[in-house]
Amino acid sequence: MRGQSLAVAIQNETGMRALFLGDIVGAHAVVAVAQALPAWRRDRGLDLVIANAENATVSRDDDPRTGFGMSAKAVETLLEAGVDIITGGNHSWDAPDCETVLDSARVLRPHNVAGTLAGHGVAEWKGGGRKIAVVNLIGASAAGRRYTVSNPLAAFDALALDDRHVIVDFHSDSVTEKQTFAHAVDGRVSAVIGTHTHEPSLLVHRLPRGSVFVADAGMVGPLDGVQGIGPAYYVHEMAEFREPHSFELASGPLTVGGIILEIAEDGSAMGERVAPTLVT
């Protein structure tokens, strides 16, 4: 079932409301989210805000595959503006101050990355008598050669979360991988939201056992490029002009990729895309 309407969700007065924002790209987008969020929280009655911020900061401009992450300043800006939990992905360890950032209980990195990298992948949010676990997972398709990952389903199962009130950020390049995981945990979580590709499907599926699934929340970032990055870098690469070439963020208005979840007392959920409002 697709496209559950917000009007239906609002009828559930016992539900709590969560906003999930896809990958925030660049300082401009960080500031735009920070400026807009207080009004979003108020006008949309949000209890919980989760945002993926793995691309919030350009930490080096010679390779977009390793040059992002989130600076302490970007994280502070988002948290102070009203983001409750920040998630990450393959860029979580790009920025030089990542260890400081990932020390925060409110900043996650993928849980199922092997080794002794900084950070943690699970957070617990409490508010209004409700409790939600937020889990950040990554698929091998997004980790690439940089990181070794364990099976995301096995890693999730090992957490032994006994409460269904769980929102998963599944960071992956593969829609198949995300769909498979979502069906594997349907009825055990409130929602599985995909991140990483920055191209929003924003089709809100309600799986048979009441979990919401969105293959990709998209991004909060500039539209006129490749994943929020100026197209020149990737065009040069595709054309095999492999000389050193710096990249810059794309220009254009900011698109907002997000999902609002209405989570019932039993942990089942309804979802609705946030209209792709453009912030100029």
Please give the positions annotated as active site. 91
Hey, which residues between 113 and 132 contact Fe ion (CB under 5 A)?
Answer: none
> Mask: binding to Fe ion, 2-41, rule CB under 5 A, as x and -?
---------------------x------------------
Q: Yes or no: say if 225 and 198 are a contact pair by the CB < 8 Å rule.
A: no
Closest CA to 123 of 136, 109, 110, 134: 134
In this chain, which of 89, 121, 194, 218 binds Fe ion, going by CB under 5 A? 89
What's the CA gap between 90 and 99, in Å, rounded?
A: 15
- Min separation Cβ 6 and Fe ion, Å: 26
Nearer to Fe ion, 98 or 270 (CB): 98
Question: Shortest gap between Cβ of 92 and Fe ion (angstroms)?
Answer: 9
Write down the least CB distance from residue 90 to Fe ion, Å: 4
Rounded CA gap, 26 and 107, in Å?
17
The answer to the question of residue 165 lying near Fe ion (CB under 5 A) is no
Which residues contact residue 134 at a Cβ distance below 8 angstroms, ignoring those fewer than 6 apart?
Answer: 50, 85, 87, 108, 122, 123, 124, 125, 166, 167, 168, 169
Task: Report if residue 90 touches Fe ion, rule: CB under 5 A.
Answer: yes
Q: How far is the CB of 229 from Fe ion (least distance, A)?
A: 10
Of the ranges 89-97, 154-162, 253-261, 264-272, which one interacts with Fe ion (CB under 5 A)? 89-97
Q: Given the complex with Fe ion, which of 15 and 225 has the nearer CB atom? A: 225
Which lies closer to Fe ion via its Cβ, residue 143 or residue 270? 143
Q: How far apart are CA 208 and CA 280, in angstroms?
A: 39
The 44-73 contact track toward Fe ion, x by CB under 5 A, reads ----------xx------------------
Pairing verdict, β 205-206 and 130-138? unpaired
- Closer Cβ to Fe ion, 54 or 262, answer by number: 54
Site string for Fe ion, 179-198 (x = CB under 5 A): -----------------x--
Is the CB of 68 or the CB of 156 nearer to Fe ion? 68
Q: Which is nearer to Fe ion, 94 or 272 (CB)?
A: 94
Residue span binding Fe ion (CB under 5 A) among the ranges 14-22, 83-91, 150-158, 185-193: 83-91
Q: Which residues contact 143 (CB under 8 A, 6 or more apart)?
A: 90, 110, 113, 149
To Fe ion, the closest distance from the beta carbon of 16 in angstroms equals 27
Rounded Cα–Cα distance for residues 170 and 164 (Å): 17
Q: Does residue 51 contact residue 88 with C-beta atoms inside 8 Å?
A: no
User: Could you say whether residue 177 binds Fe ion (CB under 5 A)?
Assistant: no
Neighbouring C-beta atoms of residue 138, cutoff 10 Å: 30
Least Å distance between CB 46 and Fe ion? Answer: 22
Interface residues toward Fe ion, by CB under 5 A: 23, 54-55, 89-90, 196
